[in-house]
Amino acid sequence: MSLSRPVNKINKLSVAECFPQELRDTFNDMIEAPGYITREGETPARWSRLATFIAFPDLKSTDSADSNINQRSKFCELINNRLHRLIDEEHPRSRYSVPD
């Protein structure tokens, strides 16, 4: 009699098997459109402000939008002049934040 748990095999599906081609094409068209803005992407002005708040953590915000950037800076760090998110429970390594 074995005391070990049975191993559940997980079948991994490819992208082609998960989503129909029409849906993948539509998604690619959407993200490649000139007017598309990613929610997580950083504009140059926002990136610059984030870098300022990271370099000078005691700096005060000037308005509500600036306050949001200041709060976000508490979860970021600069590595080789590139913005990375800090390590958290779900992500054991820092993650590069891609600018727009």
pLDDT digits 0-9 by tens, 20-71: 889 889 988 887 787 777 666 677 888 889 989 999 999 999 899 899 999 9
| pLDDT tens-digit series, residues 74-91 | 988 888 888 888 888 888
| DSSP sequence for 13-76 | PPHHHHS-HHHHHHHHHHHHSTT---SS-B-HHHHHHHHHHHH-TTPPPSSHHHHHHHHHHTTE
Task: Give residue 31's pLDDT.
Answer: 77
The count of residues in the chain is: 100
Is 5 a member of any domain?
no
Count of the separate structural domains present in the chain: 1
Residue 84 structural domain: 44-96
Confidence of residue 7 (pLDDT cuts 50, 70, 90): low
In a domain, 26, yes or no: no
Residue 89 resides in a domain: yes
